[in-house]
Structure 1
Amino acid sequence: MTTSIAMGLPGVSLAPGDHICAFYRGPAERDAILVPYLREGLRAGDKCLCVTDDPLPAESVRELAADPGHLESLTSSSTYLLDGFFAIDRMIAFWERAVGRAVDRDGFGFVRAVGEMTWALSGRPGVADLLAYESRLNDFLPRYPQVILCLYDLRRFCDGEVLMDIVRTHPAVLISGQLLDNPWYVEPDEYLSRHPGIAVPAVDALGAARAVP
């Protein structure tokens, strides 16, 4: 299996099984990560699964794909928040179906997925389980030849404790164009035993956080 995969950013390479949190500020920085990541995947013949919170990045992403079979552009409302709530097992089952279908049925040798995570600040039922979900996702990554990139807007995720736990649940961190092995990563069993009920803050307006009940 390939052990080094171009990410699309200068000097940045990925490895199968990578689960990366990418920090950015605002839509322009998000797309500066998102679009090259997907463009490189399409160039390499990977299956690309892209979940975003709003239609603007989805529109720019669709323009990348001459063959829509290589790129699925989805929204948070149809995946993470299907039926208006978040459920960990349902979302992991979504990835299992989507990635498994790409590999086992459609014959793709590699899948690169990306999720914009601002939906977790919506205050919808279940979103406080974000960090448990991110931790459990690490047990799913080795099942297929894949990488998953999670996009976090630092203008919106303002709570320092939550940011630290986002870091603890990802083995790798992308910030300022550099991909770093994460010395603060905690394995799922240990993390979940330490943090049985940590809450994620919702955001009423940019930078104004409140606790999810």
Structure 2
Amino acid sequence: MKIPEIFVSNGLKTIPKHLNFHEKDFFIYDYETYKTANLKFRVPSKTERTEHEDLMISVVIIDELISPKIFQSILKKFREEIQNIKNIYKGLYNSSEESAAKFLEIKETLLKYYQVINDIEGIQLNIDLNYKFPWGTHFCYFYQNKEDLMDILIPYINMGLEENQFCVWVTSEDLNEKEAKEKLKSEIKNFNKFLKKGQIEIFPYTEWYLKDGEFNFQRVLDGWVQKYNFAISHGFNGIRVTGNTAWVGKKHWKDFSDYEEEINNVVGNYRMIVLCTYPAEKCGINEILGVMKTHQVATIRKEGKWEILQRYDSSLSN
């Protein structure tokens, strides 16, 4: 449960007065704070908690330029959402229909003035690999080859080390443990210092997912919690995980999919970030859709550009 919030873009320092925004209606952050902070929301009123749990809308205002066609699809989707809950909103503020109408007008005006993305799939954006992922993020990446895999994992691990996070990399045959360490040593300054400090662990899937030759997803989930407790007890800010899934075949696919679904409940409770990497050539359309459903963000690299296949859903974290 959370209240409506507005994440303000870098260039927007204040809300225009004519929109009549009030703190009781929205919780406002600048965009940089939104990207880097583990946000806390104000406690909703008793009325909000008991009567309006399903109607709160999150709006993200960003600086990215998007095409008019995509923007119009966003407007259409958002207006449909507003229309669907309009009757509920009538009782939101002092049971005043005029107040509810004003609230809706503000939402509409906001959409006219700013480019908004609200859970729209298929929008192509540049992904900044130095982005500071919020705690609780569980996302996946479909890679084409070994170079493609390293292009996302090296910056991902590097950011974690720089941020004093405990890092765990579970490898597969597409990029084995030895290759991973060699690449990290060549790309990350003072990597041996992090290794000697015990800030990073790299091991093959046979020592984690298929320990003793069997996949037991509850054992793996418990293992991540143990790794997290180790990280916190040793002074690290949290844990950053990546696991490669090239080993997952038909025999283990269903069990691993169940694990991917369940890990959302684990990641969201801790200062934890998890990136699962999937070989695109081994995934059919049904497998890709299944993976997307169990991750908050799915990404792929196409012709040198990063493409978001599924928008981040903050309801799965925090």
Verify the 8 A CA contact 1:52 1:74 in the aligned structure 2: yes
Distance in 1 (CA, whole Å) between partners of 2:314 and 2:286 is 14
Q: Secondary structure at the match of 1:147?
A: strand
Distance in 1 (CA, whole Å) between partners of 2:269 and 2:314 is 20
- Among 184, 203, 215, which residue is 1:74 paired with? 203
Tell me which protein shows more strand as a share of its residues: 1
Q: Does 1:149 align with 2:270?
A: no
TM (normalized to structure 1)? 0.75
TM (normalized to structure 2)? 0.51
- Among 171, 176, 188, which residue is 2:296 paired with? 171
Alignment of 1:20-59 (within 5 A): 20-53=139-172, 54-55=176-177, 56-59=179-182
Q: For residue 247 of structure 2, what is the aligned residue in structure 1?
A: 119
Distance in 2 (CA, whole Å) between partners of 1:147 and 1:129 is 21
The total of aligned residue pairs comes to 181
Could you say which structure has the greater relative contact order, defined with CA pairs below 8 angstroms and 6 or more residues apart? 1
Structure number with bigger Rg:
2
How many Å apart are 1:185 and its aligned residue?
11
What code does the residue aligned with 1:154 have? A
Distance in 2 (CA, whole Å) between partners of 1:180 and 1:162 is 14
Structure 1: state its 5+ residue gaps.
188-213
What code does the residue aligned with 2:35 have? S
How many Å apart are 1:10 and its aligned residue?
4.6
What code does the residue aligned with 2:281 have? R
Verify the 8 A CA contact 2:35 2:131 in the aligned structure 1: no
Residue by residue, what CA displacement relative to the aligned partner does 1:82-125 show, whole Å, maximum 9, x if unpaired?
Answer: 1111111011011111112111x11211211100111212x66x
Q: For residue 183 of structure 2, what is the aligned residue in structure 1?
A: 60
Label 1:133 to 1:76 Cα distance change in 2 as closer, same or farther (>3 A): same
How many Å apart are 1:127 and its aligned residue?
4.7
Verify the 8 A CA contact 2:217 2:259 in the aligned structure 1: yes
Structure 2: state its 5+ residue gaps.
1-32, 38-126
Q: For residue 265 of structure 2, what is the aligned residue in structure 1?
A: 139
Verify the 8 A CA contact 1:49 1:71 in the aligned structure 2: yes
How many Å apart are 1:61 and its aligned residue?
3.3
CA RMSD of aligned residues (A): 2.8
What code does the residue aligned with 1:60 have? K
Q: For residue 4 of structure 1, what is the aligned residue in structure 2?
A: 35
Q: For residue 195 of structure 1, what is the aligned residue in structure 2?
A: none
Residue by residue, what CA displacement relative to the aligned partner does 1:170-206 show, whole Å, maximum 9, x if unpaired?
Answer: 011222235565389997xxxxxxxxxxxxxxxxxxx
